[in-house]
Structures are given as structure tokens and as C-alpha cells.
Amino acid sequence: MPICTSCAQPTAYLYTVYDSAYNFRLEQCTACHAFADPYVEHDALTLLLDLILLKRDVYRHLLYNRGLGARRVGEKAPAAQHNANHQRHNERARWSLIVKLGAALICVDACTPGPTLRAGFAADQRLGARTGSRQPGDTSETAAWSRAAIQGFLRILVGCFFETAAFHAGVTLACYAVLRALPASAKAPVSGIREQFRYTHVPLTLLYSSLTKLFLLFCLSVWRPDSAKAHAAPGTRPELHPDAPTYTHPLVVGALALLDEDRLDREWVVRNVLGGMAAGFGLRVVLDCHPVFTTIIIIAGWLVKTAVANLVSGWVGTGLGGSDDKAAGEMWLAYSIP
């Protein structure tokens, strides 16, 4: 049964369809008297933007109400029977969506600048070491670089698959343990979210929440650090505007120095810190529990992911670093674990 996106109260119908699919009226929730699900009339772009912005209601719409709650004028089938048939269909549809969305997001994650550019840079180093003996018109070295880059990308892709599967498995098992450990009060009514919850909602929530991380990584790939600042001599300070404020207090200067590009790895922060916070928010919506429990669940998923990443890092680094495959594996591992 669908739920109200505002108060999570179960509701029989979300909207009533009249003459066509585009002629409908939103239903009001009987508990809070707001529209049960305004996202029914929103397009896919609006849903995507609200997912990136971590809006609670769009998670409830996509996880619990997608494809449910339609009532046609003159329909005589009872709502319970109609929604039960849709629930069985939605369970299969959720698994299909998890596979499709997971495969797409793993490919995008493997293409993010950190590990992929470093794999290409390692192959470029091996190519540059042999260009001295290359004859004019010889394309064998370029073909070797292409093969090395493709092999490196495939290894990174497989590594991303294993660490993603490990993180989802760890989070799902932790969710099961937390929900079993939470005390069930006989007097407190069961919320609509808990009543409609299925464990297939957990990996789907993690995939939806990873869109925020991937969007920020895309922004970092567009706005790269200034190369002049990156190659500046140690101790030199960039020129400031005459009216720019300056800070001389040691604590303020030390705190601002931590944000320098040579000290703070923004991609690592986005991947692990902000990605973990987004996943915790999504689990907070789907589990309807205290943020402390979702934090424990995310940490448990990180631990499983770290263990698996340590196991496959040596294989992923094989061939990426030329003579130093171990360093290449450790480089990939640094971007994989929290």
C-alpha cells in the first residue's frame, strides 16, 4: 500500500484518473490533509534534482509509491486487492531496477577522475619510458598504451563492483541486525514505512543516495584545481586582492591551511565522507529509526567494504603501475576505503 510522503501514513489511493492518463486529481491524506504524493505529477528531472538535494519526500515516492495508488473513475476493485497485485509486481521490478541502476552507477564510479586518471597516467609513464627508441610512423607503442589503459580500466571496474557489492551486503546485514534489535512497543502504532518496508529497499536506497556523491565528483572533474597553485614553490603565497581580508591568528591560519589543495583530497572527502552522509540520510528515511542506528549501519558497511577492498587491491593494481604494481594497488585502495 502506498504512503503519504509528508506523514508516512498508509493511504489507499494517491490520485484519481478521469478520462486519460494526463487528466487526474491528487488525493489528500486523511491524517495530515496534505496531498498524499505531489511527486506523482513531477517529471524525471525534478525527481533527479531532489534526489541530489536529499529531499525526504522524493525518497518516499520512489521507494514506496512508484507505480502505485492510481484509481480510475468507476473502478470497483477493492484497493487492498489492487495494491497487493502491484506489490508482487513491484518486488520483481525493484530487483530489476537494482541490477540496471547498480550496473550503470558502478560504471560511472569506475570512470571518475581519481582511479581512472591514475591508471592512464601509469600507462602513460610506461609509454614515455620507451619512446626514445620509437621509429617515425610506429604506432605499436600507442596500441600498447591503449591495451594497458583498457586492461587497467577493466580491473578498476571489477574492483568497484566487488567493493560496491560488499558495501551493500554489509549495510543490508547491519539493517537486519538493527531492526531485530530495536525494541517493539505493543502500544506504539507501527509506522507506514515500517509496515511497507522490504529489504530490497536498502540497496535501492544506497543507489539513489550515491547520485549526490557522483554529482559532486562530476563537479570536481569539471572544476579541477589550479595548476599554477599546484606547482607553486613551497612557502609562496598567491597574490590577493588589495581589499581581501587577511587573518593572522595562528588558529585561524592553521584551520584554513587544512583546506589547501595540497593537504585536502577533495575527491576522497566526497567519496567517503559526503557519500556516507548521503547514504545515512537515505537509510534514515527508509528505516524510520534514530540517526545513531543509521550511523552504526554505515560504519558496518564501511568495515565490510574495507576488508574486501584490501583483498582485491593487489589484483586491481597488477599492471597499473608498471614496475610498482603494489603502489598502484595502494593508490586505488586509498580512494576505496574510508
Which tens digits make up the pLDDT trace of 88-131? 667 788 889 999 999 999 888 887 755 454 544 444 444 454 44
The pLDDT assigned to 85 comes to: 55
What percent of the chain lies above the pLDDT cut of 90? 25
Q: Which three cell numbers stand for residue 127?
A: 609509454
Pick from 239, 116, 106: nearest CA to 165? 106
- Residue with the three cell numbers 530490497: 200
- Residue with the three cell numbers 490520485: 15
Q: Which three cell numbers stand for residue 108?
A: 560511472
Burial class (CB in 10 A: 0-12, 13-18, 19+), 79: middle
CA distance to 96, 201, 207, 321, per residue, from 283 (Å): 20, 9, 11, 38
Q: Which three cell numbers stand for residue 283?
A: 537509510
Contact indicator for 49, 15 with CB cutoff of 8 Å: no
- Beta strand 70-72 with 15-17 is parallel
Burial class (CB in 10 A: 0-12, 13-18, 19+), 245: exposed
Contacts of 184 (CB under 8 A, 6+ apart): none
The pLDDT assigned to 145 comes to: 55
pTM to 2 decimal places: 0.79
Burial class (CB in 10 A: 0-12, 13-18, 19+), 224: exposed
| Cα angle value 91/92/94 (rounded, 5°) | 65
pLDDT tens string 134-184? 555 555 555 555 777 777 778 888 888 998 999 999 999 999 999 888 776
pLDDT tens string 305-325? 989 988 887 777 765 555 555
The pLDDT assigned to 129 comes to: 47
- Output 125 or 257, whichever has higher pLDDT: 257
Sign of torsion, CA 275 277 280 281? Answer: negative
Mean pLDDT, residues 213-233:
71
Q: Amino acid identity, residue 144?
A: A
- Output 203 or 133, whichever has higher pLDDT: 203
pLDDT tens string 176-209? 999 888 776 544 566 778 888 889 999 999 999 9
Report the side by side order of strands in the sheet with 24-26: 24-26, 15-17, 70-72
- pLDDT, averaged across the chain: 77
Mean pLDDT, residues 198-222:
90
The pLDDT assigned to 56 comes to: 93
Say what angle helices 275-287 and 201-222 make with each other, to 10 degrees. 150
Does residue 82 carry a pLDDT above 90?
no
Tell me how far apart the alpha carbons of residues 12 and 66 are, in angstroms, rounded to a whole number: 14
pLDDT tens string 62-80? 998 887 877 777 665 555 5
Question: Got the DSSP string for 298-330?
Answer: HHHHHHHHHHHHHHHHHHHHTTTSTT-HHHHHH
The pLDDT assigned to 24 comes to: 82
Sign of torsion, CA 299 50 114 332? Answer: positive
